[in-house]
Amino acid sequence: MEIRRFGYYWLDTWVLANVIQLATQNFCMHYLNRTNDPCGRQYDQMTQAARSVPANIAEGSSRRSTSKETEMKLTDVARASLAELANDYLNWLLRGETVPWSVKSDEHKTVTAVQLDPPIYKDDVQHLSSIHILSQKQKFDKWLRSGNSTTEANCLLILCNRLIMMLNKQLSNQLATFKEEGGFAEALSADRIAYRAAQSVKANAPSCPKCGKPMIKRVAKKGINSGKEFWSCSGYPECNGTRSLK
């Protein structure tokens, strides 16, 4: 029951998104002030972008069973919000006349080498998943709580870029599933056709002359018979067998 309600709690992308959100909130509280952010707009934009990432991952995962299209759209929104946040951290470094750590630097390699633990919780999901998120954040606290904004911004920039790549992979998997299984509209159409085929069997409808499947009544939408009913194979479009209604 809890797996159905909280399926996204098992996603590494959702876990890391929460780590980034918590770290961003701490970063903004410690380093944004009336001098460098007099109107508080950057504070709002950064914290809202950070919030958008886990929120859209969660909502997209929750909509998976009814609309895979919506799931993909919301995952893409999460990715876009993350790219916006990453740019804010890049801008912070440039404002301080520093550049991001090189991928060849020891700092970058050390942060990148830190791996997330797999989530393991069978019940009491919200309680145990919260413990898991905090324990994963602690893996990066050496940099995230360093008291140096340059170090913290660099670490968060690396985490943002890592999560963007993870979301790219998640989107690719979602698209592959969509291509194989179809979306909500396709599922409804398949259910409707199956229902009509079952009703046709009960009503002794004729069998398709090509494949033998039960036929269902359809209305011609074009041609000289436009608006008239005819028998069509329930296996359409794989089979295009038809019969006259007479």
Q: Give pLDDT tens digits along the chain (246 positions).
A: 444 556 899 999 999 999 999 999 999 999 999 999 999 999 999 999 999 999 999 998 888 777 788 888 999 999 999 999 999 999 999 999 999 999 999 999 999 999 999 998 888 899 999 999 999 999 999 999 999 999 999 999 999 999 999 999 998 888 887 677 655 555 555 556 666 666 665 567 888 888 888 888 788 877 777 778 888 888 777 888 888 776
Nearest to 116 by CA among 3, 8, 17: 17
Strands (E), the chain: 215-219, 229-233, 242-243
CA distance 78 to 158: 17
Contact 31, 48 (CB under 8 A): no
Contacts of 26 (CB under 8 A, 6+ apart): 144, 145
CA distance 129 to 111: 23
Is 170 exposed, middle or buried (CB count within 10 Å of its CB: 0-12, 13-18, 19+)? Answer: buried
DSSP state, 102? Answer: P
Question: What tokens appear for 146 in the block?
Answer: 């360093």
- DSSP string for residues in 37-67: -TTSHHHHHHHHHHHHHHHHHHHHHHTTTT-
Contacts of 214 (CB under 8 A, 6+ apart): 197, 200, 201, 205, 207, 208, 234
Domain 2-182: which topology?
de novo design (two linked rop proteins) (1.20.1440)
CA distance 140 to 146: 10
Q: Domain spans of the chain?
A: 2-182, 185-243
CA distance 170 to 152: 27
Prediction pTM value: 0.74
